[in-house]
Amino acid sequence: MRLDIISIFPEYFAPLDVSLIGKARRTGLLDVRVHDLRSWTHDRHRTVDDTPYGGGPGMVMKPEPWGEALDEIAPAGDAVPRLVVPTPSGRPFTQAMAAELAAEDWLLFACGRYEGIDSRVVAEAATRMPVSEVSLGDFVLAGGEVAVLVMTEAIGRLIPGVLGNAESVADDSFAPGAMESLLEGPVFTKPPVWRERAVPEILLSGNHGAIARWRRDEALRRTAAHRPELLGRLDPERLDKHDRKV
Ligand code: 6GU
């Protein structure tokens, strides 16, 4: 997958050299290119913002540098990227959206700062490429950079070959399947007793059916405690009598 990122703070993306994503880049599974928006300015001060029409606080990102950057990185043609714009006014980013984006060949992230990017930029880009405005949740970040780091990690780990063990994706909280819309329960490793706390005996039993049942019960309990609204999303076809008792 090719991944272009436009930002006025390219330094924010140093973490993409590290760990899973760093390795995916070195092995060629991910082609990440970070661009400084200011390289498409032409004035002495490399200006990227201006005051908002209609008044109000803060500054808005000027359309011209964005237009030139998008034209150069993603010229109109047969192969265009999906433009992803992180903004608190976007559609909620979910595991399902991460999976859809992981299936794309090319993503282009446009990181806004201040009060956002002049709205004509997205409107014009949408005439020549698919656009997704995406929010991480109901809070406000100072800019899209950290949101892009979050999305890149969520998307990158779903690209085949990026994770060592393919099964670790299947078991995730929110992963499609039997445990969909359940939070993952507790996990344990050696030693069997630590500071007088024993690992739940059933996990040492070797009874895989009983272990699966226990894990589902723990996931149900954790979901009820932390995200009760998710229980309403459970597929009734997949609920069994035992689920109702937990
Ligand atoms: Cl994607 N961007 C910004 N700037 N703030 C956010 C966000 C994104 N998601 C939640 N808050």
pLDDT values of the chain reduced to their tens digit, one per residue, 246 residues? 999 999 999 999 999 999 999 999 999 999 999 999 999 999 999 999 999 999 999 999 999 999 999 999 999 989 999 999 999 999 999 999 999 999 999 999 999 988 999 999 999 999 999 999 999 999 999 999 999 999 999 999 999 999 987 557 877 888 887 777 899 999 999 999 999 999 999 999 999 999 999 999 999 999 999 999 999 998 888 888 889 788
- ipTM above 0.90? yes
The pair phi, psi for residue 46, each rounded to 5°, is 50, 50
Atom in ligand 1 nearest the alpha carbon of residue 141:
5
Bridge-based pairing state of the strands 197-198 and 193-194: antiparallel
User: Which string of DSSP letters, residue by residue, matches 181-246?
Assistant: T--------S-SEETTEEPPGGGGS--HHHHHHHHHHHHHHHHHHH-HHHHTTS-GGG--HHHHH-
The residue ranges of DSSP E strands in 63-187, in sequence order, are: 82-92, 106-110, 131-135
pTM beyond cutoff 0.90: yes
Residue 52 CA, ligand 1 centroid: distance in Å = 20
Residue 96 CA, ligand 1 centroid: distance in Å = 18
Tell me how far apart the alpha carbons of residues 136 and 89 are, in angstroms, rounded to a whole number: 10
Torsion over CA of 184, 189, 191 and 192, rounded to 10 degrees?
50
- Record: fold of 2-156: Alpha/beta knot (3.40.1280)
Q: Which residues contact 54 (CB under 8 A, 6 or more apart)?
A: none
Tell me how far apart the alpha carbons of residues 109 and 168 are, in angstroms, rounded to a whole number: 27
Tokens of 84: 């992803």
* CATH number of this structure's domain 171-245, picked from the four choices 3.40.50.300, 3.40.50.720, 1.10.150.120, 1.10.1270.20: 1.10.1270.20
Q: Which residues pair with 109 in a beta bridge?
A: 5, 84
197 has catalytic annotation: no
Buried b (16+ CB within 10 A) or exposed e, 84-95: bbbbbebeebeb
The amino acid that residue 233 corresponds to is R
218 has catalytic annotation: no
Segments making up each domain of the chain, as ranges: 2-156, 171-245
Q: Which of 172, 180, 184, 243 is catalytic?
A: 172
Task: Tell which one of 87, 148, 151 to mutate to probe ligand 1, the residue whose CB is within 8 A of the most ligand atoms.
Answer: 87
Give residue ranges with CB within 6 A of ligand 1.
Answer: 86-88, 134-137, 139-141, 143-144, 147
Q: Which of 25, 38, 128, 157 is catalytic?
A: 157
Q: Which of 36, 64, 100, 115 is catalytic?
A: 115
